[in-house]
Amino acid sequence: LLASAAILVPAVAMAEGETIGFSQIGSESGWRAAETTVTKQQAEERGYDLKFADAQQKQENQIKAIRSFVAQGVDAILLAPVVATGWEEVLEEAKDADIPVILLDRNIDAPEDLYMTAVTSDQVHEGMVAGNWLVEAVGDAECPVVELQGTTGSSPAISRKKGFEEAIAAADNISITRSQTGDFTRAQGKVVMESFLKSEGGENICALYAHNDDMAVGAIQAIKEAGLKPGEDIKIVSIDSVPDIHLAMKAGEANATVELTPNMAGPAFDVLEAYWKDGTMPPKWIQTESKLYTSDDDNAAIYESKKDLGY
Ligand code: GZL
């Protein structure tokens, strides 16, 4: 006897064909351009329909984008939050719509139930790695440091400052004499470094700590235009490991960088697929690796390995 025809119900909602909204900060740095490239590639490979929104580094544009994604009824939202505060209201709306939100590359000050997980590096650790490198590099020589901070109010700017200061705290010969935001951009990094050189005098600056490589690359230009040798007269340590900082290190114009992977979307999509498959919930933090590179490394080879990744 033929049993009544089984009604084939998909056992699980397949990830294929899901619609995902991505609220991206902008393209302020080479690193972020690479993150966007990788995210789009990953979505393509996994068969997602990715709705991409570039906020031009404005939180209100990110909030508008999230509201639009909720109205469209997307299956998940990726958010790279430009600053750490001001997200509760709009993330409550996503939660009420049962749309999982995953944070990419930055953290927020909000109740953990408002996002599924955060895929980020340990940004305090990144600052400590940079500070520890400088402590090693200068020994007991007097070393006044200038600091180019990331975007004001962003989690990397807050945490990378904290970690660096912890690392140099015990070194009486190392102190931060000037600190100002360069908003993670090359252009601002150059402008602010020019003001540091003018106010301090290049001969009174031993090192630059930049919260990302793009600001360091801008500062290198300013240091050269001031007639000084970046990487020698002024040591330079920064974060991201973008291709151009490896070119600078190869030329002896920068000294160290802490690598940040642009592939935050891969782990994010993996946990979404696990959730859609059987309801598995990820931990609240998925930490990406941080690796120190210096001018002693084979920077030509590292540049070649990164130059086509969309930076
Ligand atoms: C850090 C990330 C930072 C990069 C910068 O996780 O948010 O934002 O270090 C980018 O290059 O602007």
pLDDT digits (tens, 9 = 90+) for 4-39: 444 444 444 456 679 999 999 999 999 999 999 999
| pLDDT tens-place string over residues 283-311 | 999 999 999 999 999 999 999 999 999 99
The bridge status of strand 143-149 relative to strand 174-181 is parallel
Label residue 182 exposed, middle or buried (CB < 10 Å: 0-12, 13-18, 19+).
Answer: buried
The best mutation among 32, 121, 241 to test binding of ligand 1, ranked by most ligand atoms within 8 Å of the C-beta, falls on 32
Instruction: Give the pTM.
Output: 0.94
Residue pair 199/182 in contact by the 8 Å Cβ criterion: no
Give yes or no for residue 90 having a pLDDT over 60: yes
Q: How far apart are the first and last CA of the chain?
A: 63
The best mutation among 23, 25, 28, 29 to test binding of ligand 1, ranked by most ligand atoms within 8 Å of the C-beta, falls on 29
For residue 299, give the nearest of 233, 255, 262 by alpha carbon.
Answer: 255
Query: ipTM of the assembly?
Result: 0.99
Average pLDDT over residues 227-248: 98
**The predicted structure's pLDDT at residue 25:** 98
CA of 32 to the centre of ligand 1 (A): 7
Sheet of 76-79, strands arranged across:
49-54, 19-24, 76-79, 101-104, 117-121, 285-288
Average pLDDT over residues 41-55: 98
Average pLDDT over residues 142-155: 98
The residues near 78 (Cβ < 8 Å, ≥ 6 apart) are 20, 21, 22, 23, 39, 101, 102, 104, 265, 268
The residues near 16 (Cβ < 8 Å, ≥ 6 apart) are 46, 47
Q: How far apart are CA 306 and CA 244, in angstroms?
A: 9
Beta carbon of 31 within 6 Å of any ligand 1 atom: yes
Q: How far apart are CA 7 and CA 198, in angstroms?
A: 76
Residue pair 299/293 in contact by the 8 Å Cβ criterion: yes
Query: What kind and span of H or E run contains 192?
Result: helix 186-200
3-state secondary structure of 102: strand
Structure tokens, 75? 């299956």
| pLDDT tens-place string over residues 119-143 | 999 999 999 999 999 999 999 999 9
Average pLDDT over residues 48-61: 98
Nearest CA to ligand 1 atom 3: 156
CA of 276 to the centre of ligand 1 (A): 29
3-state secondary structure of 145: strand
Average pLDDT over residues 48-75: 98
Structure tokens, 150? 């990331």
CA of 29 to the centre of ligand 1 (A): 7
Averaged pLDDT of the chain: 95
CA of 109 to the centre of ligand 1 (A): 17
